Amino acid sequence: MRATLCVLAFGLFGFGMPAKALARSETDCASAWSRAVRSYLTQNRRAAPDGTVPEDLDGEELAAQAWVDAFRPACRLEAAGDGRGARVAAAAAGVAILVRLDPNGCTRFLSAYMGSSEPQALCSMATEAPRSELEKALSPTLPAR
């Protein structure tokens, strides 16, 4: 009886909600992308996205916030319903950071986490190309989700 009520309640409240209500928050999205990209660092693990290494606890807090803020534009796209665009924008942000902090991590991130078909070429391109060109080049190399 209790299991039936649980299934019924989930059906009424879970499936009855619009998809937007079930989506993750912008902060959760940005934190998840930040953790994912940081996990591919093999060097400069304490560095902020701009490459600066914090000297004290306040600096570490600011660096952690900078990591989250780096992915907020992509998460705004996700919140607006553009999942593919959000994924490409987050990948571009991650590549731009990783190519600066850990080029080997950049290649591993694109091949293992994003499933890109051209990780080496994209990481090389990211050192010189603007973000918009990087996003255009990234999009066709990422598998559909």
pLDDT (tens digit, 9 = 90+) per residue, 72-100?
999 999 999 999 999 999 999 999 999 99
- How far apart CA 109 and CA 41 sit, in angstroms, is 9
Average pLDDT over residues 132-142: 93
- How far apart CA 143 and CA 134 sit, in angstroms, is 16
pLDDT digits (tens, 9 = 90+) for 9-47: 444 454 444 444 456 899 999 999 999 999 999 888 889
- How far apart CA 11 and CA 7 sit, in angstroms, is 6
pLDDT at 19: 46
- Which class for 114: exposed (0-12), middle (13-18), buried (19 or more C-beta within 10 A)? buried
When the pLDDT of each residue in the chain is averaged and rounded to a whole number, the result is 87
pLDDT at 23: 66
pLDDT at 2: 56
pLDDT at 5: 45
- Which class for 111: exposed (0-12), middle (13-18), buried (19 or more C-beta within 10 A)? middle
The residue ranking higher by pLDDT, 118 or 23, is: 118
The residue ranking higher by pLDDT, 102 or 2, is: 102
CB atoms within 10 A of CB 131: 14
130 Rama class: left (phi>0) / alpha (psi -120 to 50) / beta: beta
What is the model's pTM?
Answer: 0.81
